[in-house]
Structure 1
């Protein structure tokens, strides 16, 4: 389901696309997807605000989980990749990792505080 602007049977400009799995993407659409600044919300409660390229999380943004985790930083092809900071709370209290990520994992130089 798409709500927004159409031109010659293609979506162009600002709009909102709801996918069959419940994911909602809001942004500027061109070439079959949202590119530029936008938001992506999944049915499980996760939410992203930042840069999208053809509906995918890319470059930089903020990803929040329903359990309170929050990542601010770089992304590549929907994964935490590059410099960033992940915050969360475990049984001992608040935690924070600031440093390099590769494919959603701590990788390279970084600092973990808890």
Structure 2
């Protein structure tokens, strides 16, 4: 593969932000992608709407936002795996995500079928 690691990371961040806008109706404020061996680690900041931020002030609201956001992103996980494959040429075999309702940050981790970092460095 002739792409540089930083360019692939930037392309993933940009494409995920665009996917969020199209699929969820709004994108995150800041996205950072890191390739580490066979893992893609994506940190998204500023993902909660003002209404969701207000809901998170109570425990039931916080749990509702967390549950709803998880369900929304999970329904798009196959599409996200396809996007990752198109950008990297490597199959995403597993998808993990969690959101912090306190900080408004989401972390997405993809496990890949190959060591993408080694592939990009070769």
TM-score, normalised on structure 1?
A: 0.27
Higher percent of residues as helix: 2
**Relative contact order, higher structure (CA 8 A, sep 6+):** 2
**Which of the two has higher C-alpha Rg?**
1
TM-score, normalised on structure 2?
A: 0.26
